[in-house]
Amino acid sequence: MKTSCCGDYDPNSLTVEEALHRIDQDLQPINGEEQLAIRTALGRVLAENVLSKINVPPHDNSAMDGYAVRGEDLPKEGSTTLTVIGTSLAGQPCTETIQTGQCARIFTGAVIPNGADTIIMQEHVERQDDVITIGVAHKTGDHVRLEGEDIAIGQIVLKVGKRLLPADIGLLASLGVPEVKVKRRLRVAFFSTGDELCAVGEILKPGQIYDSNRYALHGILTRLDVELIDMGVVRDTPEEVEEAFLSAAKCNDAIITSGGVSVGDADYVTDTLRRLGKVNFWKVAMKPGKPLTFGKIQNAVFFGLPGNPVSAMVTFYQFVQPALHRMMGQNKTTPTRFTVPCLSPLKKHPGRVEFQRGILETNEQGNLAVRSTGQQGSGILSSMSQANCFIILPRDCGFVTTGSEVLVEPFEGLI
């Protein structure tokens, strides 16, 4: 990577790491729990540990189709014959006790008959009527799944703070758990600010643009499974911004705005927050998304996102989403990031961390590589639609040459 002499440094901006630390230090998980049937608990955060009341599997069972035998009957050399005295099916155990010289036909998942402790795969058996012949190379205990080897009675199977995924719902069902206690949904109010914003479906007037941020935020928050209140567009007057702040703070855990957080004459968000509550910070050394405001109004956490659509989405995913996860009571997770070769040159000046939009793909050699979506302006929302990852360029990094290793963060699992 080449370093440019033209910097992009602002001494009044927090680093990304400092901003994340301040947010984390200023947040607490919300109070409030509810009991839900597991079918309706997908995506919710556990409020207490789930302990198993049964062993899994509940009995010794076969991992293969074959024959259940006694380990002491296995031949040390040559071969031996055993008499088949019964059959064990899944859900229909064999009622016979296996004695010396005997065995039982068994199928995958079926209970191991009394007296048996080993399964011989059917491919390794010669059968003539009710007599089987087995050779050497078998060990006592082969292909037996022991009672409780997956989960034992009293074992914690899901811990508090776990966000429930489809596999977790299946696991709960396998344990016979009908309901779980989860954290209540987070209540989030959001709105856009700006006299230039026009509602979707209306005809644009000179100087107007459509309000894309509110629709993007609605989609993001819907996927986060929060209780959301869309407060629409708030005009750029101190009175309307103040009224919206106070209304949103009454009954919400978090307030998210887009626009009005820079230093323009009509940008009232940060000043209003300073008057009504507390500003923790309002500038981060990143691109896009430098004018990000974080603070509190009464008991509500406040995030003021930039107005440019890419900036709003980048700052949401990097700062707001992990903060909301923490407020939900979800366990902290580390973002999935790794380095890959870059297939295109990238423009950058030192001074700020950049979250450029990229397309992660498999190259001709079958290895992962990334290429830029093209122009990286903070108003080019199509770059977010085309991309499947962020290319994260460190603060001191300059122009990136083709073939350089870069850090990427896939959208899968993030968006």
C-alpha separations of 175 from 35, 42, 112 in Å? 17, 16, 21
308-343 pLDDT per residue, tens: 999 999 999 999 999 999 999 999 989 999 999 999
Give me the CATH topology for the region 16-33+185-328.
Molybdenum Cofactor Biosythetic Enzyme; Chain A (3.40.980)
Which pair of structure tokens corresponds to residue 147?
Answer: 């009672």
What are the start and end residues of each CATH 2.170.190.11 domain in the chain? 61-145
Domain 338-410 in CATH: superfamily? MoeA, C-terminal, domain IV (2.40.340.10)
Q: DSSP of 53-100, one letter per residue? A: SS-BSSS-EESSSEEEE-GGGS-SSSEEEEEEEEEEBTTB---SPPPT
Q: What are phi and psi of 305, to 5 degrees?
A: -85, 155
Q: What is the pLDDT along the chain (415 residues), one digit of tens a residue?
A: 433 344 577 888 999 999 999 999 999 999 999 999 999 999 999 999 999 999 999 999 999 999 999 999 999 999 999 999 999 999 999 999 999 999 999 999 999 999 999 999 999 999 999 999 999 999 999 999 999 999 999 999 999 999 999 999 999 999 999 999 999 999 999 999 988 888 888 898 898 888 999 999 999 999 999 999 999 999 888 999 999 999 999 999 999 999 877 655 446 888 899 999 999 999 999 999 999 999 999 999 999 999 999 999 999 999 999 999 999 999 998 999 999 999 999 999 999 999 999 999 997 788 999 999 999 999 999 999 999 999 999 999 999 999 999 999 999 988 7
pTM listed for this prediction: 0.86
Give CA–CA dist 257/273, Å, rounded.
11
What are the start and end residues of each CATH 3.40.980.10 domain in the chain? 16-33+185-328
What are the start and end residues of each CATH 3.90.105.10 domain in the chain? 34-52+160-183
Most distant CA atoms of the chain, gap in Å? 94
List CB contacts of 356: < 8 A, sequence separation 6 or more: 346, 348, 372, 376, 390, 391, 392, 393
Nearest CA-CA partner of 62 in 126, 102, 132, 118: 118
Architecture of the CATH domain 61-145? Beta Complex (2.170)
